[in-house]
Amino acid sequence: MEEMKDLVLNYVINEYQEDEDEEITYDTPLISSGYVDSFSMVSLKVFLEKKFQIKIPDDKATPEAFDTVNKIVELVNEYTNK
């Protein structure tokens, strides 16, 4: 679980963080704070699906479900366990 969180966190930091001075943690709001906008969410969804070999239904890929690393991992676990 920790490994999955770190994987997702590192991806978010590498791909979406613009200001090096700001710290992104497992609980940092990503969508609601503007780090990842709604258009960029698609690339994050593609990353999760490819990395974890899952399919996330479009209606589950909501800004709320993607808003923090912790919530993302929760969602991923829901589909890796299926």
Query: Which residue reads 């994987």 in tokens?
Result: 7
On whether the CB atoms of residues 35 and 17 are closer than 8 A, the answer is yes
Nearer to another protein, 2 or 19 (CB): 19
In the complex, minimum distance from the CB of residue 1 to another protein, in angstroms, rounded to a whole number: 23
In the complex, minimum distance from the CB of residue 56 to another protein, in angstroms, rounded to a whole number: 14
Chain positions contacting another protein, by CB under 8 A: 15, 18-19, 21-22, 29, 31-40, 42-43, 46-47, 50, 62-64, 67
Nearer to another protein, 6 or 64 (CB): 64
Name residues whose C-beta falls within 8 Å of residue 13's C-beta, 6 or more positions apart in sequence.
24
In the complex, minimum distance from the CB of residue 5 to another protein, in angstroms, rounded to a whole number: 20
